[in-house]
C-alpha cells in the first residue's frame, strides 16, 4: 500500500480511530536500519485476484519504486 504512506486507514472503518495516520516516509529508513525487511503486496490495497495481469504488474512495480525511493531518503 505504498500509495498510502502518510495517509489514513480509510479501508478499515472498524479501526478505533479511522483518522489515525499510517506510518510516513520518515519511518521507513529507521525500520530498515533496525534490520526490518519491507515489502508490499500492492500500490492501492486492491484485491489482486480480481485484476488483470497489466494492473497487477503495475501495482507491484509502482509500489516497489515508491518503497525503494522512500527507503533511501
Show pLDDT as tens, one digit a residue, over the chain (73 residues).
677 777 777 666 666 665 667 778 788 888 888 998 887 778 888 899 999 999 999 999 999 888 888 766 4
Cell of 10: 480509510
Domain residues for the domain of 61 are 2-71
Cα–Cα distance for residue pair 19/29, rounded to 1 Å: 24
How many domains does one find in the chain? Answer: 1
Cα–Cα distance for residue pair 11/31, rounded to 1 Å: 24
Q: What is the pTM of this model?
A: 0.61
Amino acid at each position: 500500500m505504498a500509495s498510502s504512506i502518510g495517509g489514513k486507514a480509510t479501508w478499515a472503518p472498524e479501526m478505533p480511530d479511522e483518522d489515525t495516520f499510517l506510518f510516513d516516509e520518515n519511518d521507513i529508513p529507521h525500520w530498515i536500519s533496525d534490520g526490518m525487511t519491507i515489502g508490499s503486496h500492492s500500490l492501492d490495497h486492491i484485491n489482486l485476484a480480481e485484476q488483470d495481469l497489466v494492473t497487477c504488474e503495475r501495482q507491484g512495480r509502482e509500489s516497489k519504486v515508491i518503497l525503494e525511493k522512500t527507503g533511501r531518503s
